[in-house]
Amino acid sequence: MKVLHIMKKHPAANTAPTVSKKPQRQPPERIQKLLAQAGVGSRRQIEKWIVEGLINVNGEVAKLGDKITVRDDIKLKGRVLKLEGKLQVETQVLIYHKPTGEIVSKNDPEGRPSVFKRLPRLDAGRWIAVGRLDLNTQGLLMFTNDGDLANKLMHPSQQIDREYAVRVMGRIDEAMLERLVNGVALEDGTARFEDIHESGGEGVNRWFHVVVAEGRNRLVRRLWESQECKVSRLIRVRYGSVYLPPGLPAGHHKFLDKKEVKELKRLTGL
């Protein structure tokens, strides 16, 4: 535990001559870390831009591992990035009740509606989606202006729970549920539900609540499909410590308060 020692000034200290100190310069940081802190994007997205050659530092194409400061001339896709003011911005997190039919992308060649069109405008930085939900999935989607927080919340090493309410069509028995909890082989590796419990319905159309601890694409649907069951409705109701408020209509958002944001940072070790 760090201990802060505070020393009282002796009255005579007031007569000492004033010594001006130059402000300390910020040490260089890895480019993806600094840009993420400024809300330019998540670390994963920034690394993708670097690999694609879309970021320039002082007139040269950036490389993974490069270090920068706010004093460097940084451009993303030819647009100048001014980082200094953005690094002082308070972390904001909002939760959005995504309806079906919206995509989690800013640009879509097919012209489908985007979740980003519904979000409030930020004075500085940009909204970063914490994970994704596919077109036909609704429910809790988080956004933040803090790229470091977004990266931590999405990183596989964090093993953060995602809980879904899912309506399943098919013949389901205890042996199947046991297989889904113990792990089944998918095309991209073994996966499983951390928890599963029934929550209503009869016959071949039943509701379950399931928990996964990773964000692989369409993971909940693929796990059920591996057992020859069809998902007819899928709603994310929790991400880590954040729940979808029962009274929040689809297409609407709500900001987390400072205490809730602090809990998210604690959860991720920031």
Neighbours of 240 (CB within 10 A): 17
Report CA-CA distances (Å) from 116 to 91, 121, 208, 217, 268: 18, 10, 30, 20, 25
Retrieve residue 220's tokens: 């909940």
pLDDT of residue 156: 84
Which H, E and C letters describe the chain, residue by residue? CCCCCCCCCCHHHHHCCCCCCCCCCCCCEEHHHHHHHCCCCCHHHHHHHHHCCCEEECCEECCCCCEECCCCCEEECCEEECCCCHHHCCCCEEEEEECCCCECCCCCCCCCCEHHHHCCCCCCCCCEEECCCCCCCEEEEEEECCHHHHHHHHCHHHCCCEEEEEEEECCCCHHHHHHHHHCEEECCEEECCCEEEEEEEECCEEEEEEEECCCCCCHHHHHHHCCCCEEEEEEEEEECCEECCCCCCCCCEEECCHHHHHHHHHHHCC
Parts of the chain with a pLDDT under 70: 1-26, 84-89, 124, 203
Q: 172-179: long-range contacts at Cβ-Cβ below 8 A with a sequence spacing of 24 or more?
A: 172/206, 172/227, 172/229, 176/227, 176/229, 179/227
pLDDT at 252: 96
The verdict on 130 and 181 lying in the same domain is no
**Which tokens sit at 103?**
């995509």
The pLDDT of residue 18: 43
The CATH number covering residue 78 comes to 3.10.290.10
Residues 40/46, Cβ–Cβ less than 8 Å: yes
What pLDDT score was predicted for residue 86? 65
Query: What positions carry a catalytic annotation?
Result: 134
Residues 168 and 214 in one domain: yes
In a domain, 15, yes or no: no
210 near 177, Cβ under 8 Å? no
Q: One-letter amino acid identity for 219? A: L
Residue 23 within any structural domain of the chain:
no
Residues 114 and 224 in one domain: no
The CA radius of gyration of the chain, in Å to the nearest whole number, is 23
Residue 43 belongs to a domain: yes
Same domain, 143 and 181: no
Domain hosting 211: range is 161-239
User: Closest Cα to residue 138, out of 51, 252, 222?
Assistant: 252
In a domain, 21, yes or no: no
Does any domain span residue 233? yes
pLDDT for position 212: 96
C-alpha to C-alpha distance for 138 and 147, rounded to whole angstroms: 24
- Residue-wise pLDDT for 4-14, tens only, equals 333 333 344 44
Neighbour-count burial of 37, counting CB atoms closer than 10 A to its CB (0-12 exposed, 13-18 middle, 19+ buried): buried
Enter the pTM of the model. Answer: 0.71
Contact 268, 153 (CB under 8 A): yes
Q: Please tell me whether residues 234 and 165 are part of one structural domain.
A: yes
Residues 153 and 168 placed together within one structural domain of the fold: no
Q: How many domains does the chain have?
A: 3
User: Does residue 212 lie in a domain region?
Assistant: yes
